[in-house]
C-alpha cells in the first residue's frame, strides 16, 4: 500500500499540469490577487479575467455553431489531481476531445479541466453575471491545435479557449458527478493523483443547453495572468446538491 501511494505521488509530480501556473500565489492576505502583479506583470493588464458580465451591455450576435468533438466519448484513464490550488481532471489517452466553431478560428484541443469554488455557497465562481456569484465554476481549458502545446499557445493572443460553466444548487443529486466526488476523497493532500474508477464522458457533466453563451477576450485567472484566452461562459448552470458542491 505504501509503495502504491508513493507511485501515485511520483506520477503527479512527473505529469504536473501542463499550464505553467505561478507557484507562489494564494487568494488571501499578502499572496492574494491584489499582490499578484508584483511578481507577475501581466496580472495588472487591461484584459484581465475574471469579469462581471452585465447582461444589459451584452451585444447579441449569431455565430457559427460550436462543434464539440469527442464530448460523448467514453474516456478511460482519466486522472484527478490535487495540484495544491485546485482539482485538475486530465485525459491521458489520445485523441483528446476538441472544439471548433463559435468565435473560434481553427481547432482547439483539450488540455485539462478544473474547478473554482468558495468557502460557502454564496460565492466561488470567478466570472459573475449581473454581479451574481455562483457557488462553483468549471473551466475546460483547450489550446489552439496549430500551436501544438499549452506552453507554446500561451505566447499567442488566441492561444487558449476556456469553456466555463457555472453551478447552481438543486435538491436533486446529479449522478454523473459521483465519480468525481469519490475521486476527491483520495486526493485530499496536495500533489496527489488518482485514476477515475469508471470511463468518463464530458457531455454527462455539462448542462443541456450548449448553444447560449457569453464570449469575450480575457486572461488566465491565476498567475501569470496571460491575456491569451477566448472565454466562453455558458448561460445555463449545471445543477448539483449542496453536498456535491
Ligand atoms: Zn480556472
DSSP string, 211-234: S-EEEEEE--SSTT--S-EEEEEE
Which residues of the chain fall below pLDDT 50?
Answer: 1-21
Q: What 8-state DSSP symbol labels residue 8?
A: H
C-alpha 171 to ligand 1 mean position (Å): 26
Q: How far does residue 72's CA lie from ligand 1's centre (Å)? A: 23
Domain 2-240 has CATH 3.30.70.890: no
Residue/partner pairs of 9-15 with CB below 8 Å, 24 or more apart:
9/191, 9/192, 9/193, 11/193, 12/81, 12/83, 12/191, 12/192, 12/193, 13/191, 15/79, 15/90, 15/92, 15/193
Q: What pLDDT shows up at residue 29?
A: 87
Q: Calculate how far, in angstroms, residue 244's C-alpha sits from the geometric centre of ligand 1.
A: 19
| Lookup: cell for 134 | 455562483
Cα 114 to ligand 1 centre (Å): 6
Active site positions, annotated: 85
pLDDT digits (tens, 9 = 90+) for 111-133: 999 999 999 999 999 999 999 99
Q: Rounded to the nearest whole angstrom, what is the distance from the C-alpha of residue 116 to the centroid of ligand 1?
A: 6
The domains of the chain are located at 2-240
CA of 49 from ligand 1 middle (Å) equals 10
Amino acid at each position: 500500500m505504501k509503495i502504491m501511494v508513493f507511485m501515485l505521488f511520483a506520477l503527479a509530480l512527473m505529469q504536473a499540469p501542463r499550464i505553467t501556473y505561478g507557484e507562489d500565489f494564494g487568494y488571501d492576505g499578502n499572496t492574494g490577487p491584489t499582490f499578484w502583479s508584483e511578481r507577475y506583470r501581466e496580472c495588472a493588464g487591461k484584459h484581465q479575467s475574471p469579469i462581471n458580465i452585465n447582461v444589459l451591455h451584452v451585444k447579441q450576435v449569431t455565430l457559427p455553431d460550436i462543434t464539440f468533438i469527442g464530448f460523448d466519448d467514453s474516456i478511460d484513464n482519466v486522472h484527478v489531481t490535487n495540484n495544491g490550488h485546485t482539482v485538475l481532471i486530465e485525459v491521458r489517452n489520445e485523441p483528446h476531445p476538441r472544439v471548433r466553431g463559435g468565435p473560434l478560428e481553427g481547432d482547439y484541443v483539450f488540455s485539462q479541466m478544473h474547478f473554482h469554488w468558495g468557502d460557502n455557497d454564496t460565492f466561488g465562481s470567478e466570472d459573475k453575471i449581473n454581479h451574481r456569484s455562483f457557488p462553483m465554476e468549471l473551466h475546460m481549458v483547450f489550446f489552439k491545435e496549430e500551436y501544438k502545446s499549452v506552453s507554446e499557445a500561451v505566447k499567442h493572443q488566441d492561444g487558449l479557449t476556456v469553456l466555463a460553466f457555472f453551478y447552481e444548487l438543486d435538491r436533486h443529486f446529479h449522478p454523473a458527478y459521483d465519480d468525481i466526488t469519490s475521486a476527491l476523497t483520495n486526493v485530499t493532500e496536495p500533489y496527489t493523483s488518482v485514476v477515475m474508477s469508471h470511463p468518463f464522458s464530458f457531455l454527462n457533466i455539462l448542462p443541456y443547453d450548449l448553444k447560449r453563451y457569453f464570449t469575450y477576450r480575457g486572461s488566465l485567472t491565476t498567475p501569470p495572468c496571460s491575456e491569451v484566452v477566448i472565454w466562453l461562459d455558458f448561460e445555463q448552470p449545471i445543477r448539483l446538491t449542496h453536498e456535491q458542491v
